[in-house]
Amino acid sequence: MEAGAESDPFQLLNLNILQLAEITVDTVYSASKFSQKVTDAPASVSVVTQDQFQRFGYRTLSDVVRGVRGFDVTYDRNYSYTGVRGFSGLGDYGSRNLLLIDGHRMNEPIYDTTAFGTDELLDLDLVDRVEFVRGPSSAVYGSNAFFGVINVISRRGRDIHGVEAAVMDGSLGTYSGRLTIGDQLSTGFEYLFSVSTYSSEGQKSLYYKEFDSPKTNHGLAMNLDGDQYWSTMGKVSYGDFTIQGGYVSRKKDVPTASFESVFNTPNNTVDSRGYMELRYAHETESGWSLSGRAHFDSYDYATSSYYERATGRALNNDADRARWWGAEMGVSRRFFDSLRVAMGTEVRQGSDISLRNYDLSPYVSYLNTKSDLLVFGTYLDSEWKITKELALSAGLCWDHYDSFGDKADPRMAFVWKPLEDTTVKLLYGQAFHAANIYQLAYNSPTQPANPNLQPETVNSYEAVVEQYFGRHWRASTSVFRNEIEGIINSQSLSNGLLVYNNSCDATVMGAEAEIEGKWENGLLLRGSYTHQDASNKQTNSWLVNSPRNTIKAQVAVPLWKNRVFGGLELLYGSERMTLQNHETPAVWLLNFTLFSRAIAPGLDASASIYNLLGQHYTYPGGVEHLQDSIAQDGRTFQVKLTYHF
């Protein structure tokens, strides 16, 4: 669903990092689908720019997410899962957050994955900035915008202005390369094309005590942690039109023997994701903003794993496929200088969605089904400036899913500015998360389907105070409460079957505080603390994989002129509960990056050390794992060179 902006529906998408740096108060597009200051947005918002990616040595989007207040990342040596404000589902593929690239929905219909690791479509070097919008946003975006929206804004051709080439070498046999061309011509025509590749051998040996027996190599998984991908992205723009698309294919070796596969044997997943869209944005002379997009998307998922059968060891393949198209359009206008009204509509139609599971030799089919997808939604959003100091935002979205029917979700926000540099926000929002096709239709001997799953719902209440101190400092504090009903979880039954159910309700209460200082010479200081208490309503027990306390701090210091910077990042997470009611230890992580801009004409260089202190730590494992907790990487490093032609 797309609404126009007051001047340009994609105005913020056309600002580069240097232009953003000149804005005392950051600007955000994703909170309301039009450009506005973060202090005016009906949400608590963070914006992380490419300059910060470089200074802190971020490698993938999961590194960016991990450093943002209130967000959390769990890694199970296959996928990275994102949690927000105390709710970090295991094995949910990050589906309770909406991931966008330039406003294009990236959650696919089979698993609703939000690709934040090496499976992400957009190379992080091609990202201009990432906008994080906390809180439910179904009133604007529909499903998946349950706990938050993450919009990845790509760079433009004029930002490249020629050719860029990058190479990286690191520990664990890791290397990557990228080649990008882009520019804007005098006619206004703008283009960007890029291709990237990545390969990592991963850990040579990983020990899992749950498999410590002579039959399973004494718990050692050998040479089974590799990771490879290649991706491409392109876009051309002229006038009001943009054509944009991309594709990524990743192969990840899985060392954990998930889903009861044979330990220490080749086990891998392959994910492929692509899209192509035509986008339009136009501002009429009378003040109407018109926008829209039409797109075609594809997603393929395949696993190859060995299982012990009654007839002997068999190679099992899981092959899923989705093709879908969609269209969005929107219109908005400001009336009487005090009232803005926007409305939009969206449709998504799955044209080819199939799920298959079979043993290769001897051939045995366990699953071969096709599913449909039809989603239609429309929304109305408004902002009324009651006085110069007080504004009311209100919106309502209606969605129809052929799997469960209709859903309506409202949101409301009072934004009060008692002083020029002080903003107080009172926020309410309701959102839903629809069951995906995997949860509804995957029907095998070990996992029966549940077509009766109902959407999860959340009612969220939040109070935010944002304060700016002069040109350099800002601070933010907030308290929040999320009431979640009908949580969809995979449950292991006594007979060994895995079943998805609307299992329980939960309450998450918490508070956040953050302070940040920025200076023209590149000095950046940021620190945040989040406390969150997430509990199961039925049992009053602590939710699994939910750290009660997190601390995050980033310091970027100019070491020589405006060319060499040192970046230090500190990440703390408290204990987490596992599925077997154990606690993983708290962990302090320290990352350090030395970054040089134009160390030689056209050449940027960086060197990063991650987990500098060599901490040994684990994250809880999901129901698909025999392991109660899964070990993470120790100390690693990378060196990177980028040349601008």
The pLDDT of residue 10 is above 50: no
**Which residue, chain included where needed, has tokens 């990063």?**
608
Distance CA 449, CA 359 (A): 20
User: How would you class 612 by CB atoms within 10 Å of its CB: exposed for 0-12, middle for 13-18, buried for 19 or more?
Assistant: middle
What φ, ψ does residue 440 adopt, rounded to 5°? -85, -35
Helix (H, G, I), strand (E, B) or coil at 62: helix
Contact 551, 572 (CB under 8 A): yes
The answer as to whether 293 is a domain residue is no
Exposed e or buried b for every residue in 365-379, given b needs 16+ CB within 10 A? Answer: eebeeebebebbbbb
Mean pLDDT of 268-277: 96
Helix (H, G, I), strand (E, B) or coil at 258: helix
Distance CA 510, CA 550 (A): 11
Distance CA 188, CA 174 (A): 39
Residue 447's pLDDT is: 82
The answer as to whether 295 is a domain residue is no
Strand segments, DSSP code E, in 420-548 are 422-433, 456-469, 473-492, 498-518, 524-536
Q: What is the pLDDT of residues 608-635, one digit of tens each?
A: 999 999 999 999 999 889 999 999 999 9
Cα angle 380-384-387, degrees, rounded to a multiple of 5: 175
Residue 599's pLDDT is: 87
The answer as to whether 246 is a domain residue is no
Q: What is the percent of the chain where pLDDT is above 70?
A: 96
DSSP letters spanning 438-466: HHHH--BTTB---TT---EEEEEEEEEEE
Q: What is the pLDDT of residues 132-166, one digit of tens each?
A: 999 999 988 988 899 999 999 999 999 999 999 99
Distance CA 512, CA 132 (A): 15
The answer as to whether 511 is a domain residue is yes
- pLDDT bracket for residue 27 (50, 70, 90): confident
Q: What is the pLDDT of residues 175-224, one digit of tens each?
A: 999 999 999 999 999 999 999 999 999 999 999 999 999 999 999 999 99
Mean pLDDT over the full length of the chain:
91
- pLDDT bracket for residue 24 (50, 70, 90): low
The token duo for 254 is 């899985």
The pLDDT of residue 11 is above 60: no
Q: What is the pLDDT of residues 101-129, one digit of tens each?
A: 999 999 999 999 989 899 999 999 999 99
Strand partners, 170: 174, 638
- The helix (run of H) or strand (run of E) holding residue 193 is strand 190-200
The token duo for 394 is 């209100």
Write the DSSP symbol of residue 36.
E
Tell whether omega for the bond before 42 is within 30 degrees of 0, i.e. cis: no
The answer as to whether 115 is a domain residue is yes
Distance CA 545, CA 156 (A): 38
Contact 313, 274 (CB under 8 A): no
Q: What is the pLDDT of residues 233-242, one digit of tens each?
A: 999 999 999 9
Tell whether omega for the bond before 136 is within 30 degrees of 0, i.e. cis: no
Q: Which of 89-103, 409-423, 493-507 holds the top average pLDDT?
A: 409-423
- pLDDT bracket for residue 8 (50, 70, 90): very low
Question: What residues make up the domain containing 396?
Answer: 12-198+215-241+261-279+309-644
- The helix (run of H) or strand (run of E) holding residue 140 is helix 138-141
- The helix (run of H) or strand (run of E) holding residue 51 is helix 50-55
The answer as to whether 210 is a domain residue is no
CA 189 to chain CA centroid, nearest Å: 31
Please list, in sequence order, all residues whose beta carbon lies within 8 angstroms of the beta carbon of residue 62, skipping any fewer than 6 positions away. 73, 75, 80, 82, 116, 117
The answer as to whether 580 is a domain residue is yes
- The helix (run of H) or strand (run of E) holding residue 18 is helix 17-21
**Within 10 Å of residue 158's Cβ, how many Cβ atoms?**
16
Helices and strands (H, E) in the chain, number of each type:
6, 37
Q: What is the pLDDT of residues 475-492, one digit of tens each?
A: 999 999 999 999 998 877
What is the chain's Cα-based Rg? 24
Write the DSSP symbol of residue 575.
-
Strand segments, DSSP code E, in 336-438 are 339-359, 364-385, 390-401, 405-419, 422-433
The token duo for 364 is 């045995």
**Which residue, chain included where needed, has tokens 């994102």?**
82
Please list, in sequence order, all residues whose beta carbon lies within 8 angstroms of the beta carbon of residue 519, skipping any fewer than 6 positions away. 472
Contact 28, 36 (CB under 8 A): yes
Residue 220's pLDDT is: 96
Distance CA 50, CA 128 (A): 5
The pLDDT of residue 444 is above 50: yes
- Identify which has the larger pLDDT, 486 or 25: 486
Structural domain total, the chain: 1
The answer as to whether 7 is a domain residue is no
Strands 148-154 and 97-101: parallel
Helix (H, G, I), strand (E, B) or coil at 332: strand
CA-to-CA separations, 33 to 341, 342, 425, 619, 626, in angstroms, rounded: 12, 9, 19, 35, 43
Name the pTM for this structure. Answer: 0.92
Three-class secondary structure assignment of 169-185: EECCCEEEEEEEEEEEC
Distance CA 458, CA 410 (A): 11
Strands 289-309 and 422-433: unpaired
Distance CA 538, CA 622 (A): 21
Please list, in sequence order, all residues whose beta carbon lies within 8 angstroms of the beta carbon of residue 372, skipping any fewer than 6 positions away. 350, 353, 402
Residue 200's pLDDT is: 97
Residue 7's pLDDT is: 38
Mean pLDDT of 14-33: 62
Please list, in sequence order, all residues whose beta carbon lies within 8 angstroms of the beta carbon of residue 350, skipping any fewer than 6 positions away. 109, 322, 323, 324, 371, 372, 373, 374
Please list, in sequence order, all residues whose beta carbon lies within 8 angstroms of the beta carbon of residue 269, skipping any fewer than 6 positions away. 78, 251, 252, 254, 301, 302, 303
Q: What is the percent of the chain where pLDDT is above 90?
A: 77
The pLDDT of residue 40 is above 50: yes
CATH code, domain carrying 166 = 2.40.170.20
Helix (H, G, I), strand (E, B) or coil at 403: coil
CA-to-CA separations, 63 to 81, 117, 305, in angstroms, rounded: 12, 8, 29
